[in-house]
Structure 1
């Protein structure tokens, strides 16, 4: 039972109407469009408020203002069966946005006398705790008598004790709540109360017990249906506990596992799939490669490195908000083609300089989450050269790593050079694909009207192409439905791309996306890029993660394929040398032209 939406059980969905029940079911499963259609149909059925409740719940995270308007419309109708539900959900949203403003206080005053069901009391009590109205919350929760909800009542009372600085009493109530949840096999309650117990054990200085309880809480995540913002805090807390200056090798290995699991579950939720647990972590035994995990915590930046399976950490004194502002400033610096190297050098001082890298190291494998995915790490500068001048740079999903070689030089190239579907023309795409076909004799090219979804599918059904090069508009977004690639006639989303690229049962070894960009203003837009790398089935993905220049891209790709095919170099070395070529080009030396391209291990 999801605590944040516990009152949804109040809604009876036995509603008549052709196709309506199916739409409602799709909406409950997270389909916003189905919910919107259900609202339209409900006007003729006369049960509009329940459909609106579901729609409002779905958009509450992405568009809280719209959700507030939807809840308010139900309240204005004053329907008895949904009035309290709308009030409770509206209160929760307003509390997050405005805290204790006049409207919030008015709703609280009304609900104190209006609610009559224990499920409503649990929801109300949780919101009162968030507003730090602990006495009022305690009174409401003490009225709960339903044995099925007693775990939630006790757990929320424990949270009150925790917030009021009484960890011993909090531990006692959390434990009672945990035992009840265990007897009821309630995974969400077990997750929340194990997490609460972990926090109070930290307050009491019992770190071994806290670590075991954090692990217990995380073990319940695969059984839950939560948004990533609901589980991200526990990962951040746990990492903060593990990543201390005197941490053992065992603790650092556990931190590596927790960080990679956080990444993996963020992608799983992005695809609306079940989170999974993995006990495996990546090993880096070779002396020419080092794995670097920059981890942004609330009050510090941690650099966790793994070299020849030896773990080290370095701490940078910068809080999460300041680092976010720095990242935004650096990206704007690149976009505006400013000359100063100060920001690039600062990033190098934080992340790479403390590592005192061994001379044998040739490749830096960065394992990053969304705090750093949108940072062009190749631009780090040691005062003399960009980082890429000294090392091969690679981004990894963290859960796997393989050598960057291609078994067979056979390629399918496809692209759209003409203005299409409100997108501007890409005049150098034709030259880009033409150059590829001249370098690789065993190639097939689909350009403009030939690059239709059907033609693309048919080519991959009939032939296996180890390399697929897509020179077309695309967008990476934190919204799954808004991450796509452009064909002549359609837009392909990630799930469709996955199905197409795996249509003949043989994996793609290298996928190149040479004209895509991240969604403007979307802080987690590169999640879409990570999603494509993860779900395309490709061993490696080369993609542009920022705005690019058409002519520079053509030159870079020409150099890349000459290095890969004619010189027989690895993927990593080929991209590395192609970017260096642009750095030394008089017209394209600024990071704006070359830093957006990244090599991602799928």
Structure 2
């Protein structure tokens, strides 16, 4: 990862020649020969020359020359993995230099030797010490005004910061150096800088700064999309072309492979969000897979360095295994084993080797679990031997982070073997080591692992306590990761974050399931209530965590109020419903107002699901798998979009089944509390469900209740909608633009709004641009922004957008526009948007727009409807809102009921896709 200090460095040359006594002349010749051998990657012969030179200098008084030989010997020993010899030589070199009177010559030699030491420290898993050595070298180069030395150290500091996981700091370290780097002639140093920057772009991303600095550099790709990964590719390709040594060329190809790997995981993430049926469309995914494998193969073909070959082969293997686990069996997966085993056992100890051993075992465990067959792999004893060797190596190197990682992986091996007692003991040791190493990214993984192990031993209370610790640690890790524009593939939300929350909720709710026939027989305990409250808070936290992961930022607003506070403080007849989708069942928590209930009504009604209750909380369990539930949701959406309704006997079952699952068990309590508004904190696939279209056999839900959704986020100002002096900024596009259909009724929709609210402003077609929108927002305050134009909600942030006239507005641009308002929006209406077809997490797009807009309330459609019915519904909504005392939720409900009662628009297609998110008052 480092630029050597001029290979066998230039510090051994220069004005010292005239001071060397006759015996040293031969030593100097030997050093020159060693330098050539080193640059030719003939390290053993270079070491032999330097050892002879060192012997010849024994007894001479030239301490500087001795120091240079020892410094260069350390570099050569590092190249062959002889770490103890390398440490001894570097210590001797620095001791000799410290004994000499300071001069520019001595300072140059000391700075170069410190660079050599920093490289060694980084290799041995001591990145903080490496940074200290580099900082000391930087001080000396500044005193010498040595710009090349300062540039080289600055680049190497960015590598060291990456090694300790401080990627954003690494980028900040590198950014000021870019103009100087670009002004340099092509050289290995420039190649190294490009490699560092390419690696950082892959993880941190570019806010536009790098693109501007490299304005003349970029080549537009065939896709026309110059995203962060494409920029990373281009920089790393340049690094490969500018590199001279096979070591640096191999590093560039290894980095290129990792960029293609990141592209693979991004594409895989997108495919999995589309749900079943879409996962067969893997041609683009295999393109990235093949590109990554090709780069890793180049490392194999080119380098004489076994560690690079090992890393490339392991990366190939882990990628192939991931592909097989998610999609198709890949014939190449097992072809890696014969070459890997000798490399793993023959390499000298280093942090890189330790992580390679861990990577190898983890990959085999994943593949074995997937295939249900470990017979083709090294047996458990051999895998345990790999890990115990890694533990011993990390102990020898005094690397607690590596020791924790290898120890935790040994615990995972025992977990796979269902040796619970040993898994618990070893994982607890890994937790202590991760804590000592101040490594929360590792700590949470072992806490999660320990929770699973305790759960399997039926130590439920202990497991719950450890899961709580894991989530607390995970929250720290997540906040660090949110500063990175691109998602770290080690922490993909659905694989490494979401399961921790769900497994804890599962444990908490398993404790609550009781068979109760009548609600009057309920058992109320403080512990029951505490666990139910914790479960719903966890689901709210999960919703927020998912939205933060989507937006790549930490959510935060002032004047937030919890749902409970809003309902209780304002005596609202509203209930909050938390449907929780677990793998084998659906759990429902109902939060009721705490005012007195009509117990007689509850007692007269049987509760038809497994349930348990406390005074204001009720809990129900429905026996349905997540897969079956998803199929029912998708079928209902398909029916609605095909303009079916519950009056058709062939489809009535689809509308009724989800009502029976989600609402029927709650009816007695809802009736007893005279509930008027249902606030849903929807989970998973249920976010795509038009709740208002659920059918009880006689009525749709919307005929009985107002409906609102909550994102798990506390409400942005819970005060009622202010109708006085109301003004609407109404913008839209009615014309056909590019491949988007015309919306001929949009003009009428906007005119109707202006008729109802005369102080409104209209921006239609050519007048609806981002600049015009900005100008109006900056000129006066509009409490309501109404956008009647094509829009798309997607689980991919970059694909969520709203179209102005011939231009798209993305989530971040909308946020920047609306921040210019003097006060936050009361209401944002998106009347012609839709979720991406088949995208089961597309509602993240609507949630993202709602939150980033800072709107107290947002109304949007989850699929596109005919603009004629959209125009009619919006007209009725605004009339209800202005001409009565109706809340936002009630105004929307009445508009939906008006369409339902109209023969032309009675089918749910016309009125059910509209959802209210946020404050319903």
| TM-score > 0.5, shorter chain as reference | yes
Aligned-partner SS, 1:60: helix
Partner of 2:537: 257
Partner of 1:235: 501
Residues 1:406 and 2:722 are matched in the alignment: yes
Residues 1:266 and 2:546 are matched in the alignment: yes
Aligned-partner SS, 2:915: strand
Aligned-partner SS, 1:371: helix
Deviation at residue 566 of structure 1 after TM alignment: 2.3
CA distance in 2: counterparts of 1:84 and 1:30, whole angstroms:
28
Partner of 1:387: 701
Deviation at residue 516 of structure 1 after TM alignment: 0.5
Alignment gaps of 5+ in structure 1: 2-7
2:257 to 32, 35, 53: 53
Partner of 1:289: 574
Q: 1:264 to 1:125 in 2, by over 3 A?
A: same
Q: CA offsets per residue over residues 100-148 of structure 1, 9 Å max, x none?
A: 7542111133222234411211222211121234625323222211233
Aligned-partner SS, 2:389: coil
Q: CA offsets per residue over residues 511-564 of structure 1, 9 Å max, x none?
A: 000010111122211111111122210000000111211100000000001111
Cα pair 2:727 2:784 within 8 Å, conserved: yes
Partner of 1:194: 447
Aligned-partner SS, 2:190: coil
Partner of 2:316: 90
2:426 to 173, 177, 195: 173
Partner of 2:190: 16
Q: 1:23 to 1:413 in 2, by over 3 A?
A: farther
Aligned-partner SS, 2:688: coil
CA distance in 2: counterparts of 1:192 and 1:22, whole angstroms:
29
1:28 to 197, 203, 207: 203
Deviation at residue 287 of structure 1 after TM alignment: 5.7
Partner of 1:419: 736
CA distance in 2: counterparts of 1:538 and 1:519, whole angstroms:
23
Q: 1:280 to 1:191 in 2, by over 3 A?
A: farther
Cα pair 2:448 2:500 within 8 Å, conserved: yes
Q: CA offsets per residue over residues 478-522 of structure 1, 9 Å max, x none?
A: 101000010113211111111111212410010000010111122
Cα pair 1:257 1:281 within 8 Å, conserved: no
Cα pair 1:412 1:445 within 8 Å, conserved: yes
CA distance in 2: counterparts of 1:197 and 1:51, whole angstroms:
34
Partner of 1:5: none
Partner of 2:286: 65
Alignment: residue pair count: 594
* Larger relative contact order (Cα-Cα within 8 Å, sequence gap ≥ 6): 1
Deviation at residue 211 of structure 1 after TM alignment: 1.4
Alignment gaps of 5+ in structure 2: 1-124, 126-161, 175-187, 207-225, 242-248, 268-284, 348-352, 369-373, 482-490, 515-526, 595-615
CA distance in 2: counterparts of 1:536 and 1:102, whole angstroms:
49
Partner of 1:323: 629
Bigger CA drift: 145-154 or 442-451? Answer: 145-154
1:439 to 756, 765, 772: 756
2:808 to 469, 487, 491: 491
Aligned-partner SS, 1:331: helix
Cα pair 2:197 2:235 within 8 Å, conserved: no
Deviation at residue 30 of structure 1 after TM alignment: 4.3
2:402 to 149, 155, 164: 149
CA distance in 2: counterparts of 1:75 and 1:369, whole angstroms:
40
Q: 1:554 to 1:274 in 2, by over 3 A?
A: closer
Partner of 1:108: 337
Aligned-partner SS, 2:721: coil
Residues 1:516 and 2:516 are matched in the alignment: no
TM-score (norm 2): 0.62
Deviation at residue 567 of structure 1 after TM alignment: 2.5
Deviation at residue 42 of structure 1 after TM alignment: 4.0
CA distance in 1: counterparts of 2:758 and 2:555, whole angstroms:
43
Bigger CA drift: 193-202 or 89-98? Answer: 89-98
Deviation at residue 341 of structure 1 after TM alignment: 1.7
Cα pair 1:222 1:274 within 8 Å, conserved: no
Partner of 1:313: 619
CA distance in 2: counterparts of 1:20 and 1:501, whole angstroms:
38
Task: Give the root-mean-square deviation of aligned CA atoms.
Answer: 2.5
Residues 1:354 and 2:671 are matched in the alignment: no
Deviation at residue 265 of structure 1 after TM alignment: 0.4
Q: 1:290 to 1:424 in 2, by over 3 A?
A: same
Deviation at residue 406 of structure 1 after TM alignment: 2.7
CA distance in 2: counterparts of 1:392 and 1:125, whole angstroms:
54
Cα pair 1:365 1:395 within 8 Å, conserved: yes
TM-score (norm 1): 0.93
CA distance in 1: counterparts of 2:778 and 2:572, whole angstroms:
41
Cα pair 1:334 1:592 within 8 Å, conserved: yes
Aligned-partner SS, 2:332: helix
Aligned-partner SS, 1:423: coil
Bigger CA drift: 430-439 or 351-360? Answer: 351-360
More helix by share: 2
Q: 1:505 to 1:114 in 2, by over 3 A?
A: farther
CA distance in 2: counterparts of 1:337 and 1:388, whole angstroms:
17
Residues 1:158 and 2:411 are matched in the alignment: yes
Aligned-partner SS, 1:548: coil
2:586 to 301, 316, 339: 301
Q: CA offsets per residue over residues 566-598 of structure 1, 9 Å max, x none?
A: 224221111000000111111111111111100
Cα pair 1:405 1:570 within 8 Å, conserved: yes
Deviation at residue 403 of structure 1 after TM alignment: 4.8
Cα pair 1:26 1:34 within 8 Å, conserved: yes
Q: CA offsets per residue over residues 56-77 of structure 1, 9 Å max, x none?
A: 2322323242331122111332
Cα pair 1:544 1:598 within 8 Å, conserved: yes
Q: 1:508 to 1:60 in 2, by over 3 A?
A: same
Partner of 2:475: 222
Bigger CA drift: 27-36 or 293-302? Answer: 27-36
Deviation at residue 398 of structure 1 after TM alignment: 2.5
Partner of 1:4: none
Aligned-partner SS, 1:291: strand
